[in-house]
Amino acid sequence: MTAAAKVRVGIIGPGKVAREHLAPALVASRNCCVWSVLGNRESATRDFATAFSANSSRPYFTDLDAFLADPMLEGVIVATADSAHAAIALKCIGRGIRSEEHTSELQSLRH
């Protein structure tokens, strides 16, 4: 399945959990792909997007509003500190983008 046919998922917070669990699950998925990445540090976010072959023509961001403005983005996984989840989820809802905060849901993506 091509990236265009898969659900395009952005990752917010390219830290250890995202690197070791979330992004690999998306890469292994037949149904989803890493579309873009949002992080605080541009170079680390760019490196993460490159390492996991983010498919967007603009694969990394440091600004949440710019990240969520991508009309091709279909969902996001929030992998930030717990204290930031609510504010990020509300912004996603405002844009009509589904957000998930838990890694357990990603196990089903592998099948």
Digit-coded pLDDT (tens) for 62-94: 999 999 999 999 999 999 888 888 888 889 888
| pLDDT for position 2 | 65
Average model confidence (pLDDT) across the chain: 88
> Alpha-carbon distance 7 to 80, whole Å?
21
- Give pTM, 2 decimals: 0.86
> Alpha-carbon distance 52 to 82, whole Å?
24
DSSP 30-76: SSEEEEEEE-SSHHHHHHHHHHTT--SSS-EES-HHHHHT-TT--EE
Token couple for 109: 């993506």
| pLDDT for position 99 | 82
> Alpha-carbon distance 11 to 88, whole Å?
12
> Alpha-carbon distance 100 to 85, whole Å?
9
| pLDDT for position 89 | 87
Tens digits of residue pLDDT in 15-50: 999 999 999 999 999 999 999 999 999 999 999 999
